[in-house]
Structure 1
Amino acid sequence: MLKLLALALSGAKFGKLLTTGGTMLISLVVYAWIFGWRYAAGFIVMLFVHEMGHFIAARYKGLNVGAPTFIPFVGAWVELKDMPHDAKTEAFVGLGGPLLGTVGATVAYLLARSWNADWLLAVAYSGFFLNLFNLIPLSPFDGGRITAVLSPRIWLLGAPLLVALFFWRPSPMLILMAVLAWPQLVKAWKHRGDSPEAQIYYAVPAAVKWEYATYYLVLAAYLAVMCHDVHEMLATARA
């Protein structure tokens, strides 16, 4: 009986590994067909590092979380099987992805400059942009999960940013994100400071709010500067 249980558990773990590896491989093939294998592999690494940031942060907080799953042109995600029990925990898990993802993009940038590799510089740019994009202060973006520690009403500021981004770079992906964000916008509009949810889930000390606001602003500023500078470098390299 114990052998059968161990076999079942190992099979479940193998299934999770197969899901992550399989979806990663599919994404790699699709991206390589369009952009070339080097950039595709680098971009997959950027996605993986970002998602592992969420994974590690969730595990650190004692939450049960699944391995990353990849979908071409959509991205990747990790499934939280245990929901955060308060806004501070949600912000911590939300911050993990962009934070580790930014470290990964910075490493790619430093290697690209050291090796004089334009393709790796393009990978670094994709990493910086990916993490900056995810900081839009609107749930289900990571930025929405981080800024919710201040107040869900901040999500109302994220909606114009998403609309502006769509007009700048129209994409079906942005339409999908808008559909997913709509219920959260309704929730933000109806949010009341004296509601039971506000007094329990969103009851966060002012010091914690200032702490996460600082993390968010510093990270967003760094990513914005790096996106601009690396974009200029790539434009010069193409000229």
Structure 2
Amino acid sequence: MELLKIDCLGKQLRLEASLAGWQQLFWDNNLVSQKAASVDNGGLRVHQFEITAQRSIALPDTDETQVQETKINMRLETDVVWQPFRFDYRLIQDDEIIAEGTRTEKDIERQTPEVPVVATQKFSFVGLASLGFKLLKSAKVVKVLLAGASVAAYSWLFSLQFALALIACLVFHEYGHIRAMKYFGMKTKGIYLIPFMGGLALSDEKINTRWQDVVISIMGPTFGLLMSIASLIAYYVTDNIFFAGLAAFNALLNLFNLLPILPLDGGHILKSISFSMNSIMGLIACVIGAAFGVYISYTLGLALLGFLLLIGSLEIVFEWRGRHQSHLLPLDRYGQVFSTVWYLLTVAALVGIIWHLAGTGDEMLSLPLQILRS
């Protein structure tokens, strides 16, 4: 991840690092210093490097100057604490401090990572076709076509009225992701509806922290939960079974989205939580929590939910060893607890809505619960 990007003698000085402990320092996109990975991935690190810069030197007994290349000794002192994140730096030139400061998680969230320069390619028909495809892909007409295909597909399965309501639920879910992206200052491409697969909220930018991953991922199901609650209220106010069915199926849709399986939202959430746990005790706690969730699911007769929870949890546990290779800043202890509680409360609320509506005795309203028990 990019820890620092500042001006140094008129050119960019950039420090890249990872949780594994390695650091690479670039000046004018040239590697000038690096530190190997180590068990002690934080604390004080000192980068000593020499750069060549042009200086104007006054000629004796004249008003003229001469530009000469000189070697300048530089030193960058860094002190990083990963959880909770704090990065202190001090740039020294010839024993004189020329820049210093502190960066927090908020600074990492708002930064734009360095984009590599792409070489200019010569004209070709393949390149022209690729450009045309990109223009078509970004056009609004694609969103309209995909939305129309989704309405047709769901109308074929259910009815036009229910298809339109389901599309509204999908859009509201994806809008939750969009709102979270905009909260972090990210540019968005909008919402794409995909027949039989739901929708996608796309952004032009990449995330920098696990907290961003959690919030962006969970805001979709949270908005979905709000939609189910609103539909449930509308059902009790109007006594129209349509709103009850919408609340139940929308809850089922968002519940499946919270399963700990990538690339679902739940997979991103639990992966960010577990990958932020540096100690083996954190992994053990994650395993115990997953086992408890599987046990509760089977105790309540939710066989499908328990099975998918088990598979997804094992996938995350197996990938836990590679957590230090990620470029994402980990959650601190407060972020881990808060994210876990938010996730569990959302899952419990969605299951509660499904269970409550299944108790009405209506065959259609009991279908989501039957799916979970299959």
- TM bucket by the smaller chain? 0.7 to 0.9
Closer, same or farther: CA 238–50 of 1 in aligned 2, 3 Å? closer
By how many angstroms is 1:194 displaced? 7.7
Say if 2:247 is the partner of 1:118: no
Larger helix share, 1 or 2? 1
Aligned mate of 2:321, from 192, 199, 202:
192
SS at match of 2:203: coil
Task: Quote the residue 2:304 is aligned against.
Answer: 165
State how many pairs are aligned.
213
SS at match of 1:66: strand
By how many angstroms is 1:31 displaced? 1.3
Instruction: In structure 2, list runs of 5 or more residues that go unmatched.
Output: 1-134, 276-282, 298-302, 367-374
Native 8 Å contact 1:43 1:127 kept in 2: yes
Task: Quote the residue 1:53 is aligned against.
Answer: 176
Which AA in structure 1 matches 2:337? W
Say if 2:213 is the partner of 1:90: yes
How many angstroms apart in 2 are the aligned matches of 1:146 and 1:16?
A: 31
Closer, same or farther: CA 167–128 of 1 in aligned 2, 3 Å? closer
Say if 2:342 is the partner of 1:215: yes
Aligned mate of 1:18, from 129, 141, 163:
141
Closer, same or farther: CA 144–166 of 1 in aligned 2, 3 Å? closer
Task: Quote the residue 1:81 is aligned against.
Answer: 204
Native 8 Å contact 2:208 2:329 kept in 1: no
Task: Quote the residue 2:372 is aligned against.
Answer: none
How many angstroms apart in 2 are the aligned matches of 1:81 and 1:219?
A: 28
Which AA in structure 2 matches 1:84? I
Closer, same or farther: CA 16–115 of 1 in aligned 2, 3 Å? farther
Aligned mate of 1:129, from 243, 252, 256:
252
SS at match of 1:76: strand
Which AA in structure 2 matches 1:140? P
How many angstroms apart in 2 are the aligned matches of 1:20 and 1:165?
A: 33
How many angstroms apart in 2 are the aligned matches of 1:238 and 1:221?
A: 18
The higher relative CO (CA closer than 8 Å, separation ≥ 6) is in 1
Closer, same or farther: CA 237–29 of 1 in aligned 2, 3 Å? closer
Instruction: In structure 1, list runs of 5 or more residues that go unmatched.
Output: 1-11, 169-173
How many angstroms apart in 1 are the aligned matches of 2:223 and 2:365?
A: 29
Task: Quote the residue 2:159 is aligned against.
Answer: 36
How many angstroms apart in 1 are the aligned matches of 2:199 and 2:272?
A: 24
Which AA in structure 1 matches 2:360? M
How many angstroms apart in 1 are the aligned matches of 2:170 and 2:337?
A: 29
Say if 2:347 is the partner of 1:224: no
Which AA in structure 2 matches 1:116? D
Larger strand share, 1 or 2? 2
How many angstroms apart in 2 are the aligned matches of 1:238 and 1:227?
A: 8
Larger radius of gyration: 2
SS at match of 2:189: coil
Task: Quote the residue 1:8 is aligned against.
Answer: none
Native 8 Å contact 1:108 1:124 kept in 2: yes
Cα distance per residue 1:72-101 (max 9 Å; x no partner): 211111123322111111001001100111
TM-score (norm 2): 0.50
By how many angstroms is 1:233 displaced? 2.6
Cα distance per residue 1:125-165 (max 9 Å; x no partner): 1111111111112221111112223214769x59x89xx53
Deviation larger for 214-223 or 72-81: 72-81
**What RMSD in Å do the two structures reach over aligned CA positions?**
3.5
How many angstroms apart in 2 are the aligned matches of 1:166 and 1:208?
A: 26
Which AA in structure 2 matches 1:195? H
How many angstroms apart in 2 are the aligned matches of 1:194 and 1:34?
A: 42
Cα distance per residue 1:162-187 (max 9 Å; x no partner): xx53999xxxxx9xxx9xx8xx93x7
By how many angstroms is 1:235 displaced? 2.0
Closer, same or farther: CA 234–89 of 1 in aligned 2, 3 Å? farther
How many angstroms apart in 1 are the aligned matches of 2:305 and 2:209?
A: 32
How many angstroms apart in 1 are the aligned matches of 2:317 and 2:244?
A: 38
How many angstroms apart in 1 are the aligned matches of 2:364 and 2:197?
A: 28
Task: Quote the residue 2:92 is aligned against.
Answer: none
